[in-house]
A and B are shown apart, each in its own frame.
Chain A
């Protein structure tokens, strides 16, 4: 009823181009799209449609492992560089040694020695909101979440593969993997793209053969590329992010849409966000949900179903690379 009334009084001159409407009233812009039959997002995607990803591994010359991931207009490059963390320190009389008690049952070496170091760089001109300089709070929080997922939750890289031992099997040093994700283009959902890049880059990592040189008392590496060994990656996991949009207008208030793989525009409007991390065999590794009042039990089965399908897409893509 109200809508007809509004139509009657609306002057003919007051109609905007889609872009202007999007800037003036982003909320209703998204809502009008979703109210169409079938619901279509401004990016012409269906609510449950993810953007098609592309993936390339091993493209960089100076990184031991690398991956370039593009999801729609979000593009990231991830490079893995191995450096050596020696357990003997200092020279001559000041020489000290860090002793390590090996405990294969409790694998905390990766955490205690900080052997996996993921970082995220957004200050590359990837979007107008991020400038070069110290990382923003957002970049720091995404990097930290990547680290938690990599080190605490999924435990993709076993500690054994990073140990460098002498002939007697004593641990002399560790490989430390610096996993740097540089964002080239940002159009929402940085986490899924960054995580997929980290996983793919680790999967493609080849480390040189390192050995303990007793005469020099340090770790040396063999430059022969034939002897490089593939980094052992125990188990794959991929994430899927969602936004929940709730209709706040009087008519049809409370109606919700679950949007897969949100872009920058949608992320800016929706405050309710869900992340599901699926590992091999369809097991759930992690669920995050923030903001909003949606019934978790109601929404989660659908999120998990979509996340599992997304895992298969990523897995297939990564398998075709190796």
Chain B
């Protein structure tokens, strides 16, 4: 067992093992058609202390994510001068969110990788030139991962993380070039492209896309592919992202309406 983290409460010194089952349940067979994408639910402002926040759930999956955004806020005095806003992103799994082994609290390389990908996807969508000497910090917590897979589907998680952060950044009132939405596709054993696959596949492609400008902010692929195949998958993934865009815009619209209807009256008070 690795050296125990002294700043946390630890279990038995000799370590523990996750329960070993006599048989592992098979991943259920996906019932959705290859073209469909699963319905997404997004709600804004569930973390009132943050400048902006959003929460995302996928119907028929147990994936649950929350994002909170702080910014634009001044950079610490120690930071060097920056003419643009500095965007940081942090993806963290809750210890109880994944199947198999319980996740530790210390950030691992997988989380670091997802964080930097998310940062790249968001950075281009934020109008950073508008906020010199400022920082925009995005925090994403994965509360639960999808139940359909025995292993964690990093493409599904990153897609959801980009969508939820995009809404949260908008909720914070940070000026954006365009809303960014993400979609991912996989190529199954028969060689067909499946939009938003429920199970992990050998070849997968994720695209983070700004639909109104028809611009791609990030592409992430996995598996051995020919040049043409990559183009094909990127196209379908961008189209999938375009379809998710509707939900992202709707969440923002809902928020704007609630602001207009339920705006707090400004109470005047004198000292």
Residue numbers of A with Cβ under 8 A of B are 10, 14-18, 21, 24-25, 28-29, 32, 59-63, 66, 73, 75, 77, 79-86, 89, 98, 113-115, 117-119, 121, 123-128, 132, 134-135, 140, 143-144, 147, 176, 178, 180, 182, 184-187, 208, 210, 218-223, 264
Question: Which chain B positions have C-beta within 8 A of A222?
Answer: 21-22
Question: Which chain B positions have C-beta within 8 A of A14?
Answer: 270-271
Question: Which chain A positions have C-beta within 8 A of B107?
Answer: 132
Complex CA distance for A184 and B49, rounded to whole angstroms: 10
Question: Which chain B positions have C-beta within 8 A of A118?
Answer: 9
CB distance from A287 to the nearest CB of B (A): 23
Considering the complex, which residues of chain B in the window 11-65 have a beta carbon less than 8 Å from any beta carbon of chain A? 11-25, 46-50, 53, 62, 64
Question: Which chain B positions have C-beta within 8 A of A178?
Answer: 11, 95-96, 102
Question: Which chain A positions have C-beta within 8 A of B11?
Answer: 83, 85, 114, 117, 176, 178
Q: A119-B95, A124-B141 are in contact. Are A60 and B10 (CB under 8 A)?
A: no
Complex CA distance for A289 and B5, rounded to whole angstroms: 30
Q: Name 21 A/B residue pairs within 8 A (Cβ), A-sorted.
A: A18-B266, A18-B268, A21-B271, A60-B144, A62-B96, A62-B98, A62-B145, A81-B95, A82-B19, A114-B11, A124-B66, A125-B68, A125-B90, A125-B137, A126-B47, A135-B105, A176-B11, A178-B96, A184-B46, A185-B68, A222-B21
Q: Which residue of chain A lies nearest to B14 when distances are taken between CB atoms in the complex?
A: A89
Interface string of B132-154 (1 = CB under 8 A from A): 00000111010111010000000
Tell whether, in the assembled complex, residue A208 and residue B49 are in contact, meaning their CB atoms are under 8 Å apart.
Answer: no
Tell whether, in the assembled complex, residue A66 and residue B21 are in contact, meaning their CB atoms are under 8 Å apart.
Answer: no
Q: A79-B94, A126-B68, A185-B46 are in contact. Are A220 and B62 (CB under 8 A)?
A: no
Question: Which chain B positions have C-beta within 8 A of A125?
Answer: 47, 50, 67-70, 90, 137-139, 141
CB distance from B111 to the nearest CB of A (A): 10
CB distance from B267 to the nearest CB of A (A): 5
CB distance from A212 to the nearest CB of B (A): 12
Q: Is B97 an interface position by the 8 A CB rule?
A: yes
Q: A115-B12, A223-B25 are in contact. List 12 more A-B contacts (CB 8 A).
A: A18-B267, A21-B271, A60-B62, A60-B64, A75-B46, A75-B47, A81-B95, A83-B11, A124-B68, A144-B9, A221-B22, A222-B22
Count of chain B residues near A, Cβ 8 A: 58
Option from A17, A182, A218 in Cβ contact (under 8 Å) with B143? A182
Q: Is B92 an interface position by the 8 A CB rule?
A: yes
Complex CA distance for A134 and B53, rounded to whole angstroms: 23
Tell whether, in the assembled complex, residue A117 and residue B10 are in contact, meaning their CB atoms are under 8 Å apart.
Answer: yes
Q: Which residue of chain A lies nearest to B69 when distances are taken between CB atoms in the complex?
A: A125
Tell whether, in the assembled complex, residue B24 and residue A223 are in contact, meaning their CB atoms are under 8 Å apart.
Answer: yes
Option from B67, B70, B147, B270 in Cβ contact (under 8 Å) with A61? B147
Complex CA distance for A176 and B53, rounded to whole angstroms: 34
CB distance from A150 to the nearest CB of B (A): 10
Complex CA distance for A105 and B270, rounded to whole angstroms: 64
Complex CA distance for A123 and B14, rounded to whole angstroms: 28
Question: Which chain B positions have C-beta within 8 A of A115?
Answer: 12
Q: A126-B49, A127-B49, A220-B22 are in contact. Are A83 and B16 (CB under 8 A)?
A: yes
CB distance from B205 to the nearest CB of A (A): 26
Question: Which chain A positions have C-beta within 8 A of B64?
Answer: 59-60
Q: Is B7 an interface position by the 8 A CB rule?
A: yes
Complex CA distance for A61 and B94, rounded to whole angstroms: 13
Tell whether, in the assembled complex, residue A16 and residue B99 are in contact, meaning their CB atoms are under 8 Å apart.
Answer: no
Option from A29, A75, A119, A220 in Cβ contact (under 8 Å) with B21? A220
Q: Is B79 an interface position by the 8 A CB rule?
A: no
CB distance from A10 to the nearest CB of B (A): 8
Tell whether, in the assembled complex, residue A17 and residue B49 are in contact, meaning their CB atoms are under 8 Å apart.
Answer: no
Tell whether, in the assembled complex, residue A223 and residue B22 are in contact, meaning their CB atoms are under 8 Å apart.
Answer: yes
Q: Which residue of chain B lies nearest to A146 when distances are taken between CB atoms in the complex?
A: B9
Q: Which residue of chain B lies nearest to A218 when distances are taken between CB atoms in the complex?
A: B20
Q: Which residue of chain A lies nearest to B50 when distances are taken between CB atoms in the complex?
A: A125
Complex CA distance for A63 and B267, rounded to whole angstroms: 45
Question: Which chain B positions have C-beta within 8 A of A60?
Answer: 62, 64, 96-97, 143-144
Question: Which chain B positions have C-beta within 8 A of A126?
Answer: 47, 49-50, 68
Complex CA distance for A146 and B147, rounded to whole angstroms: 30
Complex CA distance for A218 and B17, rounded to whole angstroms: 11
Complex CA distance for A62 and B12, rounded to whole angstroms: 22
Q: Which residue of chain A lies nearest to B96 when distances are taken between CB atoms in the complex?
A: A79
